Amino acid sequence: MKKACLLPISFFLTALVHAQTASVPPATPQYRPAYHFTPAAHWMNDPNGMVYYQGTYHLFFQYFPGGMTWGPMHWGHATTTDLVSWQEQPIALYSDSLGYIFSGSAVIDAHNTAGFGPNAMVAIFTHHNPKAEKAGLTTFENQSLAYSLDAGKTWTKYAGNPVLKNSGIKDFRDPKVSWNAAAKKWVMTLATLDHITFYSSPNLKDWTKESEFGQKLGAHGGVWECPDLFPLMLGGQTYYVLIVNVNPGGPNGGSATQYFVGNFDGHAFTPLNEQTKWADFGPDEYAGVTWDNTSTRRLFLGWMSNWEYANQAPTSPWRSATTVPRELALQRIGAEIYLASQPAKEVSKLFPKPTTLGAFNVGNTYDLSAKLKNTGDKYELKLTTRQLASFSLVVSNSKGEELMIGYDKAANNYFIDRRKAGLTNFSPMFAGRHTAPRLATVPAADMRLLFDATSVEVFADHGLTVMTELFFPTAPLTKLTLKATDGLTLQELTYSKVTVATK
């Protein structure tokens, strides 16, 4: 959507000059993922305007076509019909006299409430005026509209922009809009510095403030950004989930996605409790939001990076990728309700030829590579056990580089350690051992791990605990070893390489 918000504007102006003048570093095709979306070239960050229409999932995203670091924001565009094979499209929205095109959302205006035309695809986004920001004004971010009458191919900006003007809040952005059927109106969830402000509209053009939420709740290590509000069912009851991305202040440093579960009556959001919860505990999922117009299905996508080092990541000629699309659901553990996420069912078609190992004891060391043979760096690994114990999965290469993923029973947490997993000197903030609490309370456990060249996404306990992590080895990490000093029995282990080319 934009930038690391607590840094001065001079930082970003310097980055912009550098982006426009620096030569492109040597290409790194070995780091290009096979099944996570990346632009062919240049800078990408937050997912924007995600909407489903006539069999196609649209992904718009923050994009700077002039370099490989953050710069004047545009809306890039990509589409998919199956959530795994992506086609990059021409840029959808360009910067203009009102400013850069920061984050926002898109809807299908089925009833032509805005008057642009039946089933118009309408983008609601933040105009960010860099001149006003540099001049010290606080009203440099305002909400605007654009519309498409040809399913997102071409766009027209509304002549009456902006439709929601800033009253004096420095960080006033990232409108996530959806139709509230019960209230029969559009509801905008807007990030406003350190809280969320809800607005409503009958026509996407005229907005009325409804309520505020969160100034003294949740994580406040940084500015609140990229919110989302949507209903989910659990046990026959409808709850609302409010996603709020925060930067910095994540559980493992830097950017992260928190959420609240509660109720929304068309005017105000009321949380069930004040507990801070995280959608992803890893350091490399941020700005995650969901697709609109998918009926009862709720699909989530995040930016796979962290503002602490995003501009320095050692990839070329592109920077950044998205997570895999994730299906969201609610789970109750004791008295608490949690948001769980797992790879969308379509992701499974990438792994059609699994190798399965039956029940076996891990012991001190178990060489998986010898059992699996011809392992690569783009694959899915599934583990199940009836009695979870401390263990680590070591993914390594002949150069001594290794990524460690596992569970620490004494601390009752999952972990990923990338301190020895390859390049780390591009940023002092990158190397580290990151942890996530185990929320499940039963002895049995399952883990699903998706590896794709330089990333791993870990979904544990049916998606109750999720971690996303980047790493940059100097040679592919293709050796797999399990270690469990106190013993671990796995009921099943399944390994499957990616066999569907998506790039």
CA distance 220 to 250: 9
CA distance 288 to 462: 19
Whether the CB-CB separation of 150 and 156 falls below 8 Å is answered with no
- Sign of the Cα torsion 266, 269, 270, 272 reads positive
- Sign of the Cα torsion 477, 479, 480, 483 reads negative
Q: Decide: helix, strand or coil at residue 131.
A: helix
Beta-bridge mates of residue 6: none
Instruction: Give the DSSP per-residue string, 223-272.
Output: EEEEEEEEEEEETTEEEEEEEEEEES--TTSS-EEEEEEEEE-SS-EEES
Local structure of residue 292 (DSSP, 8 states): B
Largest distance between two CA atoms of the chain: 68
Distances (CA, A) of 99 to 28, 29, 75: 33, 34, 13
Whether the CB-CB separation of 178 and 242 falls below 8 Å is answered with no
3-state SS, one letter per residue, for 167-232: CCCCCEEEEEEEEECCCCEEEEEEEECCEEEEEEECCCCCCEEEEEECCCCCCCCCEEEEEEEEEE
Whether the CB-CB separation of 300 and 237 falls below 8 Å is answered with no
**Catalytic annotation present for 417:** no
CA distance 458 to 380: 10
Closest CA to 363 of 482, 206, 239: 482
What strand order describes the sheet that includes 336-343?
286-290, 299-303, 326-333, 336-343
CA distance 193 to 211: 15
Instruction: Classify residue 398 by burial, with Cβ atoms within 10 Å: 0-12, 13-18, 19+.
Output: exposed
Residues 6+ away with beta carbon under 8 Å from 260: 214, 217, 218, 241, 242, 244, 269, 271, 277
Whether the CB-CB separation of 311 and 497 falls below 8 Å is answered with no
Which tokens sit at 276?
């801070």
Please identify every residue annotated as catalytic. Answer: 46
